[in-house]
Every structure is written in structure tokens, then in C-alpha cells.
Amino acid sequence: MKKALKIIVLVLAVGFIGMQFFQIDKTNPPIAETETLEAAVAVPPDVALIMGRSCNDCHTNKTVYPWYASIQPNGWFLKDHIDEGRRELNFSKFNTFETKKKKKKLEEICEQVETSEMPLPSYLWIHRDAALSETERKALCDWTKQAVTNLEKSEPPASGWPKHFCPRNTRNTRKRRTIHLLFRVLSRI
Ligand code: HEC
């Protein structure tokens, strides 16, 4: 029995040591200033501070890796979250999105923090200071709403047609066809 225990401990120890040879890549991808969130929308200092503390490690190319990222399998989980977080929404690439996607992502930020889905709960176990207060959640939501309005204002009109009648602005094909037909008839008389 004692011998079996020794073997188990030995196997675990060797396994753990073996894992340490598979370190994660901690180099941050380069950032082009013109592609960032700040280049797309105005980010007030209080919002920048909140995001720097609670979001940027997973949603920018400015990740600061903690020391335990060098201990596997921790680092692997961490890297997985960072890769996925960046894939879903990378603030360092925000200005490369189309206006529609920018607005959607901004709306999602408010949604995710209001429902406490973000920052990821597992992140908060260690980064306790990343937890958001009610005031901070509100600050983020107010900012996203303002930013969406500003984006809408700066958007060029889709065409000379009134917004609601422009066929390109409606997903409903039947409505679109009817509008087209109407315009065709009107242009004949
Ligand atoms: C520990 C890493 C981590 C932190 C910190 C983090 N996120 Fe995330 N975020 C993720 C991952 C992983 C996903 C994708 C999976 C998911 O939705 O759960 C995600 C998804 C999102 C999405 C959804 C994107 C979409 O298109 O569905 C939004 C919005 C978001 N995060 C905003 C935030 C905000 C705002 C903060 C800070 C208050 C934050 N996140 C902090 C890892 C993180």
C-alpha cells in the first residue's frame, strides 16, 4: 500500500514537473494606435481606468501576465481565456470593425457588466480589485450609450432616402420589395 502511494506521488510529481516545460507564449501582439478603441470613440479617463483594471488583460493586446502564468496548468487556462477574450472583442483592434459591429460590441459591454458575466468570475478570484461596483457598472453603461449615439451621429446617411424607407435598412424582404415597387411606380408618374 505504502509503495503504491509512493508511486502515485512520484507520477504526479513527474507529471507536474513535465508540464512546466510547456510554457505559454506571453508576447503581446503589436498595437497600431489607429486601430484602437480610443481611435474609434472618446474614452473618458474614469472609463479607461475601469477597463484597464477589469477588462484589458483579456480584451486588449496589452495583457499583463501574472507570475502564476508561468506555472502550468494555470498558464494554459489563462492563455485560453485571453485568446478567446481577444477573439470575441479586442479593444486594440476595435477601430477595424465596421460601424455596425462597433455599436453591437459597445452594447454588449453594458449587457455583460450589468449581468455580471464580465469580468469573468474566475478572474475575480485572484484579481479582487477588478470587481465592479454599481457606480462603475453605470459609468460603463452610460459611456457605451453615449459612444453609440456619437457613432450614429457621425455615420453618413445610407442614401438620400428617409432612413426607414431605405430598402437597404430593412431586413424584411417583403417590405423591401413593396418599397421598391412603390418607388418604381412613383417614378413612372
Ligand atoms: C479573464 C479574462 C476576461 C476578463 C478579465 C474580461 N473578459 Fe470579457 N470575455 C472573456 C472571454 C473568454 C469571452 C468569450 C466567452 C464568453 O462570452 O464567456 C469574453 C466575452 C466578452 C464579451 C462578449 C463579446 C461578444 O461578442 O459576445 C464582452 C462584451 C466582454 N467580454 C466584455 C468585457 C468587459 C467589459 C470586461 C471588463 C469589465 C471583460 N470583458 C473582462 C474574457 C474576459
Per-residue pLDDT in tens (0 to 9) along the chain, 189 residues: 789 999 999 999 999 999 999 999 999 999 999 999 999 999 999 999 999 999 999 999 999 999 999 999 999 999 999 999 999 999 999 999 999 999 999 999 999 999 999 999 999 998 999 999 999 999 999 999 999 999 998 877 665 556 566 656 566 777 778 877 887 887 776
Which DSSP state fits 152? H
Q: State the distance from the centre of ligand 1 to the C-alpha of 20, rounded, in angstroms.
A: 28
Q: Whose CA is nearest to atom 25 of ligand 1?
A: 88
In the numeric block, the cell 415597387 is attached to 181
Query: What residues does ligand 1 touch, defined as CB less than 6 Å away?
Result: 54-55, 57-59, 81, 84-85, 88-89, 108-109, 112-113, 118-120, 123
* pTM across the whole model: 0.82
Domain ranges of the chain: 22-155, 158-189
Are 59 and 85 in contact, with CB atoms under 8 Å apart?
A: yes
Rounded to whole angstroms, how far apart are CA atoms 99 and 102?
A: 5
The preferred substitution site among 62, 112, 116 for testing ligand 1, maximizing ligand atoms within 8 Å of CB, is: 112
